[in-house]
A and B are shown apart, each in its own frame.
Chain A
Amino acid sequence: MREWIGPRISVLLASTLACTLAAAACSAGEKQPVDAEAVGGSIVIAAQNEPRTLLPPLITQIDEKIIADQIFEPLAVLGDEGHLDHDYRPGLADSWSWESDSTAIVFHLNTKARWQDGKPVRASDVRFTFGLYTDSIVGFKDRSSLARIDSVTARDSVTAVFWFKNRYAEQFYDAATRLLIVPEHLLAREPRATLLTSAFGRKPVGSGRFRLGKWTPNASIELVADTANYHGRPNLDRVVFAVTTDPTALPTRITTGEIDLAEVSSPVMFRTLKEQPDLRARMNPSYDYSFLLFNARKPRQRQQPNALFADIGLRRAVSMGLDRAKLVRSQFDSLAVVSTGPMTRAQPLADSTIATIGYDSAGAARLLDSLGWTLPAGKTVRERRGQPLKFAVLVPTISSNRMTLIVAIQESLRKLGMEVVVDAVGGNTFVARLGARDFDVVFDGRHVEPSVAGLRAYWSVASARDANGLNFGNYENPRFDAHLDSALAARDLASARPHAKQAFETIVADVPAVWIYETRTATLMHKRIKPVHIVSTAWWAGIADWSIPAAERLPRDRVGLRVASR
């Protein structure tokens, strides 16, 4: 029996993959040959939070992004290897070319492209989308990443041109992948200030291969295959996102088979679930890192330096006092590594060979003594001129990893004579206080992209001086800005690399933060699912091409499409 199934599956898999790859390689917009054997199946993916809206420029949570990426499309999709400067698959655009000495990219839209309501996709939609994303009233979270695109014009109904202010290595990445194209005819009349509450966010219409089926608040969001899609229908019939906010429920639901796929960041959950024979684990490259950010200024204002942390010596002492390798290994096992700077190893320009501050608690104690922070007799907290070495660390309750780690960090620093108070606050309050720079130290986490362009928004002098800027720790070093600008202005990644290295060296030497961990997530999926196109930045990018072999289907896979469209 087993021998009979084995070869059949691999033939199935090979043919599916071959078809997919062939279709991707030739950039003609023909429909993909649908392998009847591969069509069908329903998968259930765990969503950690209830999505608020599915309108692309308003998306802030990862669950919203995963869903929106199925309903909407960008102009081109990053290839599986994640090479920013050359490897892309067609999305809404099936071909592109460079003009005007590489300061303009011309995208030729697939002439068959249609919205899910039947209307054709036009270049004016692309222009409209760009306007929406860059509008300050709409408030797209990463607006600064689009700053180097000057404008978008529609040369004709199927040709959109992106104009840039100057040449740089990631032009194509910015233009092609950051915007999920939205329909102008459905959104043009919506008032921009209240887009968050608009009906479109709960009933989105895109050009992707999945449509929104049924959204049951706080329970599930069902996406169904768009059978009339111009790319061809996806293999799967439906993808259901099950909202699972309680951590106890998640491993139970995975084990009982209610949920097929979940992104797991807790090492214990990972360890227990990895043992399950029905599940396959896949490690995702890391694009998230967490760090203890010092505020160089007094909280909430910018004029005066921070009473404690304007002193680089103290910052260095805190860094030396933490055995980060041990902290990371204890909390994460293999799911994280020690962070070496404001980057992750998956970024092409990252450099983990840069010298960092090592663990040296004796050295930290000596440094503190030399700075004047001494331990009075009989006391446990160091003092300097009568002032105790006590400070609060702002931590968001939403991150259980950071909530646990801060206790370990608190204990390590207590041994060094520092009194750390944990200021744990909920999501919105945390964001508010972060934006207001109302903290001395904050345990923040960041998601990065393959491009290092994001560094400017978070660490530049201009951002520090802007009250709405994202440089929450008020880090200012014009030399860092200069190196970063050189890196970003370089024509390709190879020539950007030495400048990037100098930028990283500068910032790491300034100790604006203690870089704690780079976490990766593991995706656990049921073994019957055959995934393809696992893009390094987004394991979910190719769900439309995933399939479930007929022989391995469960009862839920055999529920056809007709019923689901109710």
Chain B
Amino acid sequence: MRRFLARRLAHGAAVIFIAASLSFLLVHLAPGDPFSTTLDSVSINPSVKAAWRAAYGLDRPLLEQYFRFLGQLARGNLGPSLLQPGPASTALADAVPNTLLLMGTALVLSFVIGIGVGSWQAARAGSRGDRAAGNVSLVVASLPEFWLAAVLLLVFAYRFRVFPAAGVVDLVMHDSLSPAGRLLDRLRHLALPALTLSLLGSASIARYQRAALLDVLPQDFIRTARAKGVTDRLVLWRHALRNALVPTIVLLGLSLPTLLGGAVFVEQVFSWPGLGRLAAAAFHARDYQVVIGATIMGAVLVVVGGILADLLHAAVDPRVRAQ
């Protein structure tokens, strides 16, 4: 187990290293130097610009810049941000927890919904209900994330005022609520964005779960359990689910990059101050440092999530632990 973890950690570190190197490469391949648009606005004094360029070693040979970049990255220094003056890492540090909250909730929701619907479908495979759910799944899986978000915002926040339209907490009242009230406030604001983000994933998980269950159900040990007189319900939930859960959990790790991608759009529509919204704002402001930082941060999130998913997989599936 420890060897497994060590291997995964090493793998993860390699991934982050490659992602960072790619970012460095991109910044230096791009036209202009990294500060050319953030600093070349009319009102900034030329001596200030020169000082910043020198401080970031932009006049050094490329290889030296590369190592300096990696060193600073290891220390968490991503350079200055002009979008929110101050270190880019501060802006990212503020945004990441919000994205984690959103993605974490969406992940859990999509699995709960997906496994639930998939199991429900498998239990009545071939029936009208199964086919109807399958069609709905397919349609939902085909919806563009940003469009779905905009539609849900219009319906649930604008038309029927069920949920708030934006933000993480109520801007005025939050601090004065009781702890229970504050929790409820946070949940109310989290509900719609998390639901939107989870829908796309839950559709594919449902399909996967259904297929996985249908593979497992005819297998020998299920028949044995049935022969032993175990009732249908119990058979399904205990034995089949346990086995079918495994490939679905593998999907958990694989779905992280897509989920983060979807989060970019959901955060934009719901004004959720997370990593995706920051990246989009940094794009409009041509804030290179924040955009690069967001890309690397995204890779880090995916890697960490993947490792956690692998641990979960190993916990559930004894065959993995034996490796």
Contacts and interface: CB of A to CB of B under 8 A. Distances in A.
B285 to A, nearest CB: 6
B48 A193 contact: yes
A141 B37 CA distance: 18
Interface string B175-219: 110000000000000000000000000000000000000000000
Contact of A428 (B176, B271, B286): B286
Interface stretch (A26-34, A148-156, A431-439, A525-533): A431-439
Contacts of B40: 432, 435-436
A429 interface: yes
A141 B43 CA distance: 6
A398 to B, nearest CB: 7
B229 to A, nearest CB: 57
Interface in B256-281: 268-271, 273, 277-278, 281
A248 B85 contact: no
Contacts of B273: 216-219, 243
Nearest to A472: B42
Interface residues of B, number: 51
A193 B165 contact: no
A245 B273 CA distance: 11
Contacts of A14: none
Interface stretch (A157-165, A194-202, A279-287): A194-202
B167 interface: yes
Contact of A559 (B36, B37, B166, B176): B176
B158 interface: yes
B80 A197 contact: yes
B85 A139 contact: no
A197 B268 CA distance: 26
A451 interface: no
A548 to B, nearest CB: 13
A555 B185 CA distance: 14
Contacts of B125: none
Nearest to B40: A432
A426 interface: yes
Interface stretch (B62-70, B149-157, B239-247, B309-317): B149-157
B41 A242 contact: no
A238 B170 CA distance: 14
B153 A218 contact: no
Contacts of B281: 50, 218, 245
B44 A139 contact: yes
A294 to B, nearest CB: 19
A194 B45 CA distance: 11
21 contacts: A52-B84, A137-B45, A139-B44, A197-B86, A218-B273, A218-B277, A219-B171, A242-B167, A243-B271, A243-B273, A245-B281, A252-B158, A252-B165, A256-B161, A256-B165, A426-B286, A431-B41, A432-B40, A432-B41, A434-B42, A435-B40
Interface of B: 36-38, 40-45, 47-48, 51, 80, 82-86, 91, 94-95, 150, 153-154, 157-158, 161, 164-168, 170-173, 175-176, 268-271, 273, 277-278, 281, 283-287
